[in-house]
Copies of this chain bind each other. A is one copy, B any other.
């Protein structure tokens, strides 16, 4: 195999979700479709690499800072949703339900990986909440040990600030058949039961 093809496969295999086999398949696929697929992808990657930057306000990725969401006067400045990653922001935006603004932490606290508050966008979050009209901070973090540790840490830091701190609900997902739900989720759903009467 020529070194140009080998290098292409090696680089493609570094993408998440592509192993050596699917990287070979992707390389062959694009080499057969240079004009329709390979060059448009090169152009899209080059344009994104040049233009996309991190919003200084919330940590979102956009071609401008503040990003389109932070700059949108129609978004409620009183509700701030705290998430781990830009992918979570995209997931919430796809629902079109939340009309407030976001704050992307960039991960969760992790003793194991040596991630403290200053490695995340937590100091900026605290400053932002104190300096702005935020009335409610909604913590939409992973339902994992690290995610919930991070949620508790932020709630502690904001205690006494006069700002409401809420967390998204955990329980059985829509369409979730009880038989297939893990025990820890079932216990959580039972404990968080609501009065329907």
Q: Which residue numbers of A lie inside 8 Å of B, CB to CB? A: 1-5, 7-8, 10-12, 14-18, 22, 24-31, 34, 37-42, 44-49, 51-52, 61-63, 68, 85-87, 90, 93
Instruction: Tell me what chain A mostly uses at the interface: helix, strand, loop, or mixed.
Output: helix
Is B11 a contact of A40 with CB atoms below 8 Å? Answer: yes
Docked Cα-Cα span, A41 to B39, in Å, equals: 12
Is A44 a contact of B7 with CB atoms below 8 Å? Answer: yes
Docked Cα-Cα span, A4 to B45, in Å, equals: 9
Number of identical monomers bound together in the oligomeric complex: 2
Is B87 a contact of A48 with CB atoms below 8 Å? Answer: no
Is A29 a contact of B16 with CB atoms below 8 Å? Answer: yes
Residues on B with beta carbons closer than 8 Å to the beta carbon of A52: 2, 4-5, 31
Residues on B with beta carbons closer than 8 Å to the beta carbon of A2: 51-52, 61-63, 68
Residues on B with beta carbons closer than 8 Å to the beta carbon of A31: 48-49, 52, 61
Cβ distance A119 to chain B, nearest Cβ, rounded Å? 14
- Specify the chain B residue showing the minimal Cβ separation from A38: B49
Residues on B with beta carbons closer than 8 Å to the beta carbon of A63: 2-4
Cβ distance A25 to chain B, nearest Cβ, rounded Å? 5
Docked Cα-Cα span, A22 to B68, in Å, equals: 24
Docked Cα-Cα span, A172 to B99, in Å, equals: 59
Is A17 a contact of B14 with CB atoms below 8 Å? Answer: no
